[in-house]
Amino acid sequence: MATNPFEQPLASEQAKASPAAGNPFDQPLPSEQSTAPQEQPGFLSRAYEASPLPGMWDAAKGAVSDFVNAPVQGEQNFHAMTDALRAGNFREAAGHAAQLLVGDANPFTDAAKSVISGLTKDAHQAGRDIQTRNLSAIPVIGTAASNDAKDVAAGNSSAAAGDVVGGVTSVLPMLLGDEASTTRAGYIAGKVGDALIPEKLRNAVSDVADKVTGDSAQPAVQSAVRGAAEDTAASEGVQPKVATSVRDAIQNTSDSILGRSKAAFQTLDDVSGGRWQSTTKPTQNMNSGRKTSRQRNRIWSIR
């Protein structure tokens, strides 16, 4: 059907035709090709899967099929909107969709409505969940956080980052407005978008970061410190008290060595007729940095 422009591949599809054309987000973005560091496979596809894009894209394609015989008006805007969707640019897609809705009459209004509806779907509930910090109730964020920890544990940091990006994009629709009220749309975009989301999002991802740190980094760093204490104790031939807290690992070893030394100090004290003990305090003060000229003179005079 050569007269139907919608059965022809989009210009961008022709340009990007590849074996992975089924998922356009497997294609690197131009900005990533030029500046971003090489990502492991899985970043874009995970971001794509975690975001609301697949459903939106299907909705947009469905809307296109309803208009196959419609006259070609606003085609450029429509193609720009679908291209923006495929590129993951919600802002641009929403802008083109809104232009289709508020501009001259065209056959693409339902498609534009599908896009806007997709963007705003569940936005109101998401806003309430974020305000109450019930982030697990937001499916994408909850999934992203869970997958993120698993991926980091498995060393797949790229896919984990993709989940975070996908999770973030799921919050974007609420910036475009409240489904029930145009007034609240402005409120959410202006107030929630500026202040609440970055803070809540930061907390959400911080929780993940803390979990990652707690799950994988803590055993390593704590065992390193404990290991150093145990090795030192072994080389000194002492058996320090077992440290429940990592805070005490080094200290217990130090105390054990000090305890062993006390016997030697007593011997020295006995041999020196009690003179050794008088050097102990000034020596400790020198070690801790609290020394006076009088103390130094006393030490030198003993020597």
Partner 1 sequence: MQALRDLSAQVRMTTTGVRPEMAVAGSTPEMLDAGKLLPRLNKLNDSGRLAQAIGEDAAAKLIQDVDKAARTKASAISRVKLAKQIAVGAATVGGAGYLGHKAFGILGGGH
216 near partner 1, judged by CB under 8 A: yes
Site for partner 1 in 75-94 (CB under 8 A): 90-91, 94
Q: Judged by CB, which is closer to partner 1: 216, or 266?
A: 216
Site for partner 1 in 164-203 (CB under 8 A): 164-165, 168, 171-172, 175-182, 185-186, 188-190, 193-194, 197-198, 201-202
Backbone angles phi, psi at 167, to 5 degrees: -65, -40
**One-letter amino acid for residue 292 of the chain:** T
Residue with tokens 């020295």: 268
DSSP 77-134: HHHHHHHHHHTT-HHHHHHHHHHHHHSS--TTHHHHHHHHHHHHTTHHHHHHHHHTT-
253 near partner 1, judged by CB under 8 A: yes
Site for partner 1 in 264-293 (CB under 8 A): 287-288
Find the binder of partner 1 among 23, 73, 117, 295 (CB under 8 A).
117
Alpha helix segments (H runs only) across the chain: 11-16, 30-34, 43-50, 53-65, 75-86, 90-102, 109-120, 123-131, 139-153, 157-175, 182-187, 197-212, 218-236, 249-271, 275-287, 293-302
247 near partner 1, judged by CB under 8 A: yes
Find the binder of partner 1 among 8, 132, 222, 277 (CB under 8 A).
222
Q: Judged by CB, which is closer to partner 1: 11, or 195?
A: 195
Q: Judged by CB, which is closer to partner 1: 251, or 295?
A: 251
> Which H or E run contains 246?
none
Q: Judged by CB, which is closer to partner 1: 28, or 95?
A: 95
Q: Judged by CB, which is closer to partner 1: 64, or 256?
A: 256
Closest listed residue to residue 124, CA positions, set 194, 173, 183: 173
Q: Judged by CB, which is closer to partner 1: 137, or 257?
A: 257
Find the binder of partner 1 among 5, 41, 54, 214 (CB under 8 A).
214
**By rule CB under 8 A, what string of x and - marks binding of each residue 92-111 to partner 1?**
--xx-xx--xx------x--
Question: Between the CA of residue 27 and those of 43, 80, 170, 234, what are the distances in Å?
Answer: 11, 18, 20, 57
Q: Judged by CB, which is closer to partner 1: 83, or 151?
A: 151
Q: How far is the CB of 109 from partner 1 (least distance, A)?
A: 8
Find the binder of partner 1 among 146, 213, 266, 272 (CB under 8 A).
213
What is the C-alpha to C-alpha distance for residues 250 and 240, in angstroms, rounded to an integer?
9
65 C-beta neighbours (distance < 10 Å), count: 10
